[in-house]
A = this chain, B = another copy of it.
Amino acid sequence: MSAPPPPQPSRDRSLQARTDALLRRLVRRDAATALRKVVRRSRPEDIAAAMEHLTWAEQRRLFSVLDDPDFAATLLAHLSDESAREVSRALSRDTLADLLDRMEPDDATDVVAVLPESMREEVLSELTEEQEEVRELLSWPPDTAGGIMSPLVFTMPQTATAAETIRALQDRHDEVETIYYVYVVDEDDRLVGVTSLRSLIVATPDARLSEIMTRDVIHVRPTEDQEEVARFVARYDLLALPVVDEGGHVLGVVTVDDVVDVIREEAAEDMMLMAGVTEGPERGVMQQSSSRAGWLVATLVGGILVAEIIAGFKTALEQVAVLAGFIPVIIGMGGNVGIQSATLAVRGLATGRVHLGGALTFVWHEARVSMLLGLAFAALLGIYGTLRYRQEPLLGLSVGASIFLAISLAGVLGASIPLLLERVGVDPAIATGPFVTTLVDLLGIVVYFNVALILLGL
Protein backbone atom coordinates (compact mmCIF):
# COMPACT_ATOMS: atom_id res chain seq x y z
CA MET A 1 0.00 0.00 0.00
CA SER A 2 1.31 3.47 -0.89
CA ALA A 3 2.18 6.14 1.67
CA PRO A 4 -0.92 7.41 3.47
CA PRO A 5 -2.07 10.96 2.71
CA PRO A 6 -1.38 13.59 5.37
CA PRO A 7 -4.24 14.26 7.77
CA GLN A 8 -6.94 16.36 6.16
CA PRO A 9 -7.46 19.88 7.45
CA SER A 10 -10.24 20.56 9.94
CA ARG A 11 -13.51 21.07 8.10
CA ASP A 12 -14.38 24.61 9.11
CA ARG A 13 -17.60 26.48 8.64
CA SER A 14 -16.46 28.58 5.69
CA LEU A 15 -15.39 25.42 3.86
CA GLN A 16 -18.82 23.93 4.59
CA ALA A 17 -20.48 27.09 3.28
CA ARG A 18 -18.45 26.88 0.05
CA THR A 19 -19.42 23.22 -0.48
CA ASP A 20 -23.06 24.14 0.14
CA ALA A 21 -22.91 26.94 -2.42
CA LEU A 22 -21.16 24.72 -4.97
CA LEU A 23 -23.79 21.97 -4.58
CA ARG A 24 -26.62 24.48 -4.92
CA ARG A 25 -25.11 25.93 -8.09
CA LEU A 26 -24.59 22.51 -9.66
CA VAL A 27 -28.12 21.35 -8.78
CA ARG A 28 -29.63 24.49 -10.29
CA ARG A 29 -27.60 24.01 -13.45
CA ASP A 30 -28.66 20.34 -13.48
CA ALA A 31 -24.99 19.36 -13.93
CA ALA A 32 -25.36 15.67 -13.08
CA THR A 33 -21.80 14.59 -13.90
CA ALA A 34 -20.17 17.39 -11.92
CA LEU A 35 -22.58 16.75 -9.04
CA ARG A 36 -21.69 13.07 -8.95
CA LYS A 37 -18.02 14.02 -8.78
CA VAL A 38 -18.55 16.32 -5.78
CA VAL A 39 -20.75 13.75 -4.08
CA ARG A 40 -18.24 10.96 -4.61
CA ARG A 41 -15.54 12.78 -2.69
CA SER A 42 -17.90 13.77 0.17
CA ARG A 43 -19.38 11.96 3.14
CA PRO A 44 -23.11 11.21 3.01
CA GLU A 45 -23.56 13.11 6.31
CA ASP A 46 -22.13 16.28 4.72
CA ILE A 47 -24.33 16.00 1.64
CA ALA A 48 -27.32 15.48 3.95
CA ALA A 49 -26.44 18.66 5.87
CA ALA A 50 -25.97 20.63 2.65
CA MET A 51 -29.28 19.36 1.26
CA GLU A 52 -31.17 21.03 4.12
CA HIS A 53 -30.33 24.38 2.46
CA LEU A 54 -31.99 23.37 -0.82
CA THR A 55 -35.63 23.52 -1.89
CA TRP A 56 -37.65 20.28 -2.07
CA ALA A 57 -37.33 20.17 -5.85
CA GLU A 58 -33.56 20.67 -5.66
CA GLN A 59 -33.25 18.00 -2.95
CA ARG A 60 -35.08 15.50 -5.14
CA ARG A 61 -32.94 16.37 -8.14
CA LEU A 62 -29.71 15.96 -6.17
CA PHE A 63 -30.90 12.66 -4.71
CA SER A 64 -31.76 11.32 -8.18
CA VAL A 65 -28.15 11.64 -9.41
CA LEU A 66 -26.75 9.42 -6.61
CA ASP A 67 -25.50 6.15 -8.10
CA ASP A 68 -24.32 4.29 -4.96
CA PRO A 69 -27.36 2.87 -3.10
CA ASP A 70 -25.44 2.48 0.21
CA PHE A 71 -24.38 6.12 0.05
CA ALA A 72 -27.98 7.11 -0.75
CA ALA A 73 -29.31 5.03 2.16
CA THR A 74 -26.92 6.64 4.67
CA LEU A 75 -27.74 10.08 3.28
CA LEU A 76 -31.49 9.46 3.55
CA ALA A 77 -31.05 8.27 7.16
CA HIS A 78 -29.32 11.56 8.02
CA LEU A 79 -31.88 13.94 6.51
CA SER A 80 -34.32 15.91 8.65
CA ASP A 81 -37.83 14.43 8.91
CA GLU A 82 -39.29 16.85 6.39
CA SER A 83 -36.52 16.39 3.85
CA ALA A 84 -36.65 12.59 4.24
CA ARG A 85 -40.39 12.69 3.54
CA GLU A 86 -40.08 14.93 0.48
CA VAL A 87 -37.21 12.91 -1.01
CA SER A 88 -38.88 9.54 -0.30
CA ARG A 89 -42.17 10.56 -1.89
CA ALA A 90 -40.45 11.04 -5.23
CA LEU A 91 -38.90 7.54 -5.19
CA SER A 92 -40.49 4.39 -6.60
CA ARG A 93 -41.70 1.93 -3.94
CA ASP A 94 -39.01 -0.57 -5.02
CA THR A 95 -36.15 1.90 -4.81
CA LEU A 96 -37.29 3.17 -1.42
CA ALA A 97 -37.69 -0.37 -0.04
CA ASP A 98 -34.19 -1.22 -1.28
CA LEU A 99 -32.74 1.84 0.48
CA LEU A 100 -34.62 0.99 3.70
CA ASP A 101 -33.26 -2.58 3.56
CA ARG A 102 -29.75 -1.13 3.61
CA MET A 103 -30.38 0.91 6.80
CA GLU A 104 -30.30 -0.08 10.46
CA PRO A 105 -33.88 -0.93 11.49
CA ASP A 106 -34.16 2.11 13.79
CA ASP A 107 -33.12 4.47 10.97
CA ALA A 108 -35.46 2.73 8.52
CA THR A 109 -38.27 3.09 11.05
CA ASP A 110 -37.64 6.84 11.34
CA VAL A 111 -37.97 7.22 7.57
CA VAL A 112 -41.11 5.06 7.33
CA ALA A 113 -42.65 7.01 10.21
CA VAL A 114 -42.50 10.30 8.30
CA LEU A 115 -44.02 8.91 5.09
CA PRO A 116 -47.59 9.85 4.17
CA GLU A 117 -50.03 7.28 5.61
CA SER A 118 -50.94 6.03 2.13
CA MET A 119 -47.33 5.16 1.22
CA ARG A 120 -46.41 3.54 4.52
CA GLU A 121 -48.26 0.21 4.08
CA GLU A 122 -47.08 -0.21 0.50
CA VAL A 123 -43.45 0.33 1.46
CA LEU A 124 -43.66 -1.91 4.53
CA SER A 125 -44.95 -4.79 2.42
CA GLU A 126 -41.94 -4.42 0.11
CA LEU A 127 -39.37 -4.78 2.90
CA THR A 128 -37.41 -8.02 3.24
CA GLU A 129 -37.90 -10.31 6.20
CA GLU A 130 -34.76 -8.98 7.84
CA GLN A 131 -36.45 -5.62 8.24
CA GLU A 132 -39.66 -6.92 9.80
CA GLU A 133 -38.61 -5.26 13.08
CA VAL A 134 -39.56 -1.97 11.43
CA ARG A 135 -43.25 -2.78 11.75
CA GLU A 136 -42.83 -3.56 15.46
CA LEU A 137 -40.78 -0.42 16.10
CA LEU A 138 -43.47 1.68 14.42
CA SER A 139 -45.90 0.62 17.15
CA TRP A 140 -44.08 2.77 19.73
CA PRO A 141 -44.69 6.54 19.78
CA PRO A 142 -41.73 8.22 18.03
CA ASP A 143 -40.71 10.31 21.05
CA THR A 144 -40.40 7.38 23.47
CA ALA A 145 -37.54 4.99 24.24
CA GLY A 146 -39.35 2.37 22.12
CA GLY A 147 -39.54 4.82 19.23
CA ILE A 148 -35.80 5.55 19.16
CA MET A 149 -34.41 2.14 20.15
CA SER A 150 -32.79 -0.41 17.87
CA PRO A 151 -33.96 -4.01 18.29
CA LEU A 152 -30.49 -5.30 17.31
CA VAL A 153 -29.29 -5.81 20.87
CA PHE A 154 -26.57 -8.24 21.90
CA THR A 155 -27.46 -10.47 24.86
CA MET A 156 -25.58 -13.43 26.35
CA PRO A 157 -26.50 -15.95 29.07
CA GLN A 158 -24.81 -15.31 32.41
CA THR A 159 -23.17 -18.74 32.28
CA ALA A 160 -21.16 -17.83 29.15
CA THR A 161 -17.44 -17.13 29.54
CA ALA A 162 -15.58 -14.01 28.39
CA ALA A 163 -13.92 -15.95 25.57
CA GLU A 164 -17.27 -17.36 24.37
CA THR A 165 -18.78 -13.92 24.46
CA ILE A 166 -15.96 -12.42 22.38
CA ARG A 167 -16.34 -15.25 19.87
CA ALA A 168 -20.09 -14.61 19.68
CA LEU A 169 -19.39 -10.90 19.11
CA GLN A 170 -17.00 -11.75 16.30
CA ASP A 171 -19.70 -13.85 14.64
CA ARG A 172 -22.61 -11.52 15.17
CA HIS A 173 -21.04 -8.03 15.17
CA ASP A 174 -22.78 -7.23 11.90
CA GLU A 175 -26.24 -7.90 13.31
CA VAL A 176 -26.08 -5.72 16.40
CA GLU A 177 -26.31 -1.97 16.91
CA THR A 178 -23.49 -1.72 19.45
CA ILE A 179 -20.91 -4.29 20.55
CA TYR A 180 -19.49 -2.10 23.28
CA TYR A 181 -22.00 -3.28 25.89
CA VAL A 182 -23.10 -6.87 26.38
CA TYR A 183 -26.42 -7.36 28.19
CA VAL A 184 -26.45 -10.46 30.35
CA VAL A 185 -29.67 -12.49 30.79
CA ASP A 186 -30.72 -15.38 33.03
CA GLU A 187 -32.27 -18.69 31.94
CA ASP A 188 -35.68 -16.96 31.58
CA ASP A 189 -34.10 -14.37 29.27
CA ARG A 190 -34.48 -11.64 31.87
CA LEU A 191 -31.86 -8.86 32.11
CA VAL A 192 -29.61 -9.48 35.13
CA GLY A 193 -26.42 -7.60 34.31
CA VAL A 194 -24.28 -5.67 31.87
CA THR A 195 -20.64 -5.80 30.93
CA SER A 196 -18.57 -3.85 28.43
CA LEU A 197 -16.29 -4.97 25.63
CA ARG A 198 -13.60 -3.19 27.62
CA SER A 199 -14.14 -5.51 30.60
CA LEU A 200 -14.32 -8.56 28.36
CA ILE A 201 -10.99 -7.75 26.74
CA VAL A 202 -9.20 -7.51 30.07
CA ALA A 203 -11.01 -10.40 31.82
CA THR A 204 -9.46 -13.87 32.02
CA PRO A 205 -10.85 -15.82 29.03
CA ASP A 206 -12.72 -18.40 31.13
CA ALA A 207 -14.32 -15.93 33.57
CA ARG A 208 -18.12 -16.30 33.57
CA LEU A 209 -20.19 -13.22 32.69
CA SER A 210 -21.99 -13.58 36.04
CA GLU A 211 -18.63 -12.89 37.72
CA ILE A 212 -17.59 -9.84 35.74
CA MET A 213 -20.94 -8.18 35.08
CA THR A 214 -22.43 -5.16 36.87
CA ARG A 215 -25.76 -6.18 38.37
CA ASP A 216 -27.35 -2.75 38.77
CA VAL A 217 -28.22 -2.08 35.13
CA ILE A 218 -29.53 1.37 34.31
CA HIS A 219 -32.43 0.77 31.92
CA VAL A 220 -35.69 2.28 30.74
CA ARG A 221 -39.17 1.09 29.82
CA PRO A 222 -40.15 1.41 26.13
CA THR A 223 -42.80 4.00 27.00
CA GLU A 224 -40.29 6.31 28.73
CA ASP A 225 -40.15 9.81 27.22
CA GLN A 226 -37.10 10.35 25.01
CA GLU A 227 -36.11 13.41 27.05
CA GLU A 228 -35.88 11.20 30.12
CA VAL A 229 -33.78 8.69 28.15
CA ALA A 230 -31.45 11.54 27.17
CA ARG A 231 -31.18 12.64 30.80
CA PHE A 232 -30.13 9.12 31.86
CA VAL A 233 -27.50 8.79 29.14
CA ALA A 234 -26.14 12.25 29.96
CA ARG A 235 -26.10 11.74 33.71
CA TYR A 236 -24.40 8.33 33.73
CA ASP A 237 -22.15 8.95 30.69
CA LEU A 238 -23.54 5.89 28.89
CA LEU A 239 -22.81 4.76 25.35
CA ALA A 240 -26.09 2.81 25.23
CA LEU A 241 -29.14 2.19 27.40
CA PRO A 242 -31.18 -1.04 27.27
CA VAL A 243 -34.96 -0.87 26.87
CA VAL A 244 -36.63 -3.48 29.04
CA ASP A 245 -40.29 -4.56 29.32
CA GLU A 246 -42.24 -5.16 32.54
CA GLY A 247 -41.12 -8.80 32.60
CA GLY A 248 -37.42 -7.88 32.51
CA HIS A 249 -36.86 -8.87 28.86
CA VAL A 250 -34.58 -6.72 26.72
CA LEU A 251 -36.52 -5.23 23.78
CA GLY A 252 -33.79 -3.09 22.32
CA VAL A 253 -31.08 -0.55 22.93
CA VAL A 254 -30.86 3.22 22.59
CA THR A 255 -27.38 4.34 21.54
CA VAL A 256 -25.70 7.61 22.45
CA ASP A 257 -25.70 8.91 18.86
CA ASP A 258 -29.49 8.82 18.84
CA VAL A 259 -29.52 10.54 22.20
CA VAL A 260 -27.30 13.32 20.85
CA ASP A 261 -29.90 13.87 18.13
CA VAL A 262 -32.71 13.88 20.71
CA ILE A 263 -30.98 16.49 22.85
CA ARG A 264 -30.34 18.73 19.85
CA GLU A 265 -33.91 18.37 18.61
CA GLU A 266 -35.51 18.95 21.99
CA ALA A 267 -33.41 22.04 22.66
CA ALA A 268 -34.28 23.51 19.26
CA GLU A 269 -37.91 22.60 19.75
CA ASP A 270 -38.13 24.25 23.18
CA MET A 271 -36.53 27.42 21.92
CA MET A 272 -38.73 27.57 18.84
CA LEU A 273 -41.88 26.84 20.85
CA MET A 274 -41.00 29.65 23.24
CA ALA A 275 -40.89 32.08 20.34
CA GLY A 276 -43.97 30.59 18.66
CA VAL A 277 -42.17 29.30 15.57
CA THR A 278 -42.62 25.67 14.63
CA GLU A 279 -41.07 25.58 11.18
CA GLY A 280 -37.44 26.31 10.37
CA PRO A 281 -36.21 28.95 7.91
CA GLU A 282 -35.90 26.28 5.20
CA ARG A 283 -39.68 26.13 4.81
CA GLY A 284 -41.57 28.07 2.16
CA VAL A 285 -42.81 31.60 2.81
CA MET A 286 -46.51 30.68 2.90
CA GLN A 287 -45.97 27.61 5.07
CA GLN A 288 -43.86 29.46 7.58
CA SER A 289 -46.16 32.47 7.70
CA SER A 290 -49.17 30.33 8.49
CA SER A 291 -47.31 28.39 11.21
CA ARG A 292 -46.27 31.67 12.84
CA ALA A 293 -49.66 33.31 12.48
CA GLY A 294 -51.32 31.18 15.18
CA TRP A 295 -49.14 32.63 17.87
CA LEU A 296 -49.63 36.16 16.53
CA VAL A 297 -53.41 35.77 16.55
CA ALA A 298 -53.16 35.23 20.32
CA THR A 299 -51.10 38.43 20.57
CA LEU A 300 -53.63 40.26 18.40
CA VAL A 301 -56.59 39.18 20.54
CA GLY A 302 -54.70 40.19 23.69
CA GLY A 303 -53.75 43.48 22.03
CA ILE A 304 -57.36 44.30 21.10
CA LEU A 305 -58.44 43.55 24.67
CA VAL A 306 -55.74 45.92 25.93
CA ALA A 307 -56.89 48.55 23.43
CA GLU A 308 -60.45 48.20 24.74
CA ILE A 309 -59.28 48.61 28.33
CA ILE A 310 -57.30 51.72 27.44
CA ALA A 311 -60.28 53.11 25.50
CA GLY A 312 -62.25 52.79 28.74
CA PHE A 313 -59.84 55.30 30.31
CA LYS A 314 -60.37 57.78 27.46
CA THR A 315 -61.34 60.66 29.77
CA ALA A 316 -58.30 60.16 31.98
CA LEU A 317 -56.06 60.15 28.91
CA GLU A 318 -57.61 63.36 27.59
CA GLN A 319 -56.83 65.03 30.93
CA VAL A 320 -53.28 63.63 31.35
CA ALA A 321 -52.09 62.65 27.87
CA VAL A 322 -48.57 61.74 29.06
CA LEU A 323 -50.07 58.76 30.90
CA ALA A 324 -49.98 57.04 27.50
CA GLY A 325 -46.22 57.43 27.32
CA PHE A 326 -45.62 54.98 30.16
CA ILE A 327 -47.76 52.18 28.70
CA PRO A 328 -44.93 50.62 26.67
CA VAL A 329 -42.36 50.66 29.46
CA ILE A 330 -44.75 49.09 31.99
CA ILE A 331 -45.84 46.23 29.76
CA GLY A 332 -42.32 45.90 28.34
CA MET A 333 -40.66 45.49 31.74
CA GLY A 334 -43.41 43.18 32.97
CA GLY A 335 -43.19 41.09 29.83
CA ASN A 336 -39.43 40.75 30.11
CA VAL A 337 -39.47 39.65 33.74
CA GLY A 338 -42.26 37.20 32.92
CA ILE A 339 -40.21 35.72 30.06
CA GLN A 340 -37.13 35.48 32.26
CA SER A 341 -38.99 33.54 34.96
CA ALA A 342 -40.74 31.35 32.41
CA THR A 343 -37.44 30.56 30.66
CA LEU A 344 -35.86 29.49 33.95
CA ALA A 345 -38.89 27.30 34.61
CA VAL A 346 -38.86 25.71 31.13
CA ARG A 347 -35.11 25.07 31.15
CA GLY A 348 -35.23 23.88 34.74
CA LEU A 349 -37.97 21.39 33.91
CA ALA A 350 -36.03 20.20 30.85
CA THR A 351 -32.79 19.64 32.78
CA GLY A 352 -34.49 18.32 35.91
CA ARG A 353 -33.28 21.19 38.11
CA VAL A 354 -36.84 22.36 38.64
CA HIS A 355 -39.45 19.70 39.35
CA LEU A 356 -43.08 19.71 40.41
CA GLY A 357 -42.14 18.47 43.89
CA GLY A 358 -40.15 21.66 44.46
CA ALA A 359 -42.62 23.93 42.67
CA LEU A 360 -43.41 26.14 45.65
CA THR A 361 -39.73 26.73 46.46
CA PHE A 362 -39.08 27.75 42.88
CA VAL A 363 -42.10 30.07 42.57
CA TRP A 364 -41.34 31.70 45.92
CA HIS A 365 -37.75 32.25 44.82
CA GLU A 366 -38.90 33.86 41.58
CA ALA A 367 -41.44 35.95 43.51
CA ARG A 368 -38.70 37.37 45.73
CA VAL A 369 -36.40 38.04 42.76
CA SER A 370 -39.15 39.82 40.85
CA MET A 371 -40.26 41.87 43.84
CA LEU A 372 -36.67 43.00 44.35
CA LEU A 373 -36.37 43.86 40.67
CA GLY A 374 -39.79 45.52 40.81
CA LEU A 375 -38.71 47.72 43.72
CA ALA A 376 -35.48 48.78 42.03
CA PHE A 377 -37.11 49.67 38.72
CA ALA A 378 -40.13 51.27 40.40
CA ALA A 379 -37.70 53.62 42.14
CA LEU A 380 -35.83 54.45 38.93
CA LEU A 381 -38.91 55.01 36.80
CA GLY A 382 -40.76 56.74 39.65
CA ILE A 383 -37.96 59.27 40.06
CA TYR A 384 -37.82 59.86 36.31
CA GLY A 385 -41.60 60.37 36.14
CA THR A 386 -41.64 62.77 39.10
CA LEU A 387 -38.77 64.92 37.81
CA ARG A 388 -40.04 64.91 34.24
CA TYR A 389 -43.65 65.86 35.00
CA ARG A 390 -43.50 68.20 38.00
CA GLN A 391 -46.97 69.56 37.10
CA GLU A 392 -48.38 66.09 38.01
CA PRO A 393 -46.53 65.37 41.28
CA LEU A 394 -48.24 61.99 41.75
CA LEU A 395 -47.63 60.70 38.22
CA GLY A 396 -44.19 59.37 39.17
CA LEU A 397 -45.67 57.56 42.14
CA SER A 398 -48.40 55.99 39.97
CA VAL A 399 -45.87 54.81 37.44
CA GLY A 400 -43.58 53.46 40.15
CA ALA A 401 -46.35 51.60 41.98
CA SER A 402 -47.62 50.14 38.69
CA ILE A 403 -44.23 48.93 37.59
CA PHE A 404 -43.66 47.27 40.95
CA LEU A 405 -46.97 45.43 40.75
CA ALA A 406 -46.57 44.54 37.07
CA ILE A 407 -43.06 43.11 37.54
CA SER A 408 -43.99 41.15 40.68
CA LEU A 409 -47.07 39.65 39.04
CA ALA A 410 -45.10 38.86 35.89
CA GLY A 411 -42.43 36.98 37.84
CA VAL A 412 -44.96 34.84 39.70
CA LEU A 413 -47.03 34.13 36.57
CA GLY A 414 -43.96 33.44 34.46
CA ALA A 415 -42.68 30.95 37.02
CA SER A 416 -46.01 29.24 37.68
CA ILE A 417 -47.57 28.88 34.24
CA PRO A 418 -44.92 26.47 32.86
CA LEU A 419 -45.22 24.35 36.02
CA LEU A 420 -49.02 24.28 35.70
CA LEU A 421 -48.75 23.26 32.05
CA GLU A 422 -46.27 20.50 32.94
CA ARG A 423 -48.70 19.34 35.63
CA VAL A 424 -51.54 18.94 33.13
CA GLY A 425 -49.27 17.32 30.56
CA VAL A 426 -48.81 20.21 28.09
CA ASP A 427 -45.32 21.11 26.84
CA PRO A 428 -44.32 24.01 29.13
CA ALA A 429 -42.22 25.64 26.41
CA ILE A 430 -45.34 27.12 24.83
CA ALA A 431 -45.98 29.11 28.00
CA THR A 432 -43.42 31.85 27.56
CA GLY A 433 -45.01 32.88 24.32
CA PRO A 434 -48.53 34.23 24.07
CA PHE A 435 -49.79 32.99 27.46
CA VAL A 436 -47.36 34.81 29.70
CA THR A 437 -46.86 37.98 27.67
CA THR A 438 -50.54 38.57 26.88
CA LEU A 439 -51.61 37.94 30.47
CA VAL A 440 -48.86 40.22 31.77
CA ASP A 441 -49.81 42.96 29.28
CA LEU A 442 -53.45 42.84 30.35
CA LEU A 443 -52.73 42.83 34.07
CA GLY A 444 -50.09 45.54 33.73
CA ILE A 445 -52.49 47.90 31.95
CA VAL A 446 -55.36 47.29 34.37
CA VAL A 447 -53.06 47.93 37.34
CA TYR A 448 -51.53 51.02 35.79
CA PHE A 449 -54.73 52.84 34.92
CA ASN A 450 -56.44 51.98 38.17
CA VAL A 451 -53.48 53.18 40.23
CA ALA A 452 -53.31 56.35 38.13
CA LEU A 453 -57.07 57.00 38.53
CA ILE A 454 -56.82 56.73 42.30
CA LEU A 455 -53.57 58.61 42.85
CA LEU A 456 -54.18 61.36 40.30
CA GLY A 457 -57.85 61.65 41.31
CA LEU A 458 -59.09 61.54 37.70
Among the listed B20, B43, B169, which residue makes an inter-chain contact with A357, where contact means beta carbons less than 8 Å apart?
Answer: B20
Q: Quick one: given A18-B357, A260-B234, A336-B296, are A13 and B271 in contact (CB under 8 Å)?
A: no
Q: Which residues of B contact A306 (CB under 8 A)?
A: 325, 328-329
Q: How far is the CA of A45 from the CA of B237 in the complex (A)?
A: 9
A450 part of interface (Cβ distance < 8 Å): no
Contact A186 B4 (CB under 8 A): yes
Q: Which residues of B contact A259 (CB under 8 A)?
A: 260
Q: How far is the CA of A314 from the CA of B321 in the complex (A)?
A: 6
Q: Quick one: given A289-B373, A376-B293, are A221 and B10 in contact (CB under 8 Å)?
A: yes
* 7 contacts across the A-B interface (CB closer than 8 A): A6-B248, A46-B235, A267-B270, A275-B339, A276-B336, A286-B372, A306-B328
Contact A337 B289 (CB under 8 A): no
**Which bucket holds chain A's interface residue count?**
35 or more
Question: Which of the listed residues A215, A237, A366, A433 has the most CB atoms from chain B within 10 Å of its own CB?
Answer: A237
Contact A445 B328 (CB under 8 A): yes
A299 part of interface (Cβ distance < 8 Å): yes
Majority DSSP secondary structure for residues of A touching B: helix
A435 part of interface (Cβ distance < 8 Å): no
How far, in Å, is A335 (CB) from chain B's closest CB?
8
The proximity string for A residues 15-46 relative to B, scoring 1 for CB distances below 8 Å and 0 otherwise, is 01110110000000000000000000001011
A456 part of interface (Cβ distance < 8 Å): no
Within 8 A of B (CB), among A325-381: 325-333, 336-337, 339-340, 342-348, 350-358, 362, 365-366, 368-369, 372-373, 376-377, 380-381
Among the listed B218, B261, B280, B317, which residue makes an inter-chain contact with A344, where contact means beta carbons less than 8 Å apart?
Answer: B280
A7 part of interface (Cβ distance < 8 Å): yes
A244 part of interface (Cβ distance < 8 Å): yes
